[in-house]
Amino acid sequence: MSNDRPTVSIGMPVFNGANYIEEAIQSILNQTYSDFELIISDNASTDAAGEICQAYVKQDSRIHYCLNEKNLGAAKTSIEFLN
């Protein structure tokens, strides 16, 4: 039986982080270990964070992006993408 799931899942909550999100994503992508998925949970950002994340999703299939309708806060957001 084949397991196509990555070995590591990385969760990244973001809220209005357009100034920093690209650097954070790029830091993860620059790692030598490549068997991972990056799950970005956007807490209803009103800046360009969502557009930046979606551009990375189009470039790399390991990146997943979900947008919350309202800001849940970092702790609840972290729990949300575990479900």
| Stated pTM of the model | 0.84
Q: Show pLDDT as tens, one digit a residue, over the chain (83 residues).
A: 456 889 999 999 999 999 999 999 999 999 999 999 999 999 999 999 999 999 999 999 999 999 998 888 777 665 555 55
Q: How far is residue 13's CA from residue 21's CA, in Å, rounded to a whole number?
A: 10
Q: Is 28 helix (H, G, I), strand (E, B) or coil?
A: helix
For residue 59, what are its two tokens?
């470039």
Task: Give the torsion through C-alpha atoms of 83, 56, 52, 41, to 10 deg.
Answer: 10
Domains annotated on the chain, with CATH? 8-80 (3.90.550.10)
Q: How far is residue 58's CA from residue 51's CA, in Å, rounded to a whole number?
A: 11
Q: How far is residue 38's CA from residue 31's CA, in Å, rounded to a whole number?
A: 12
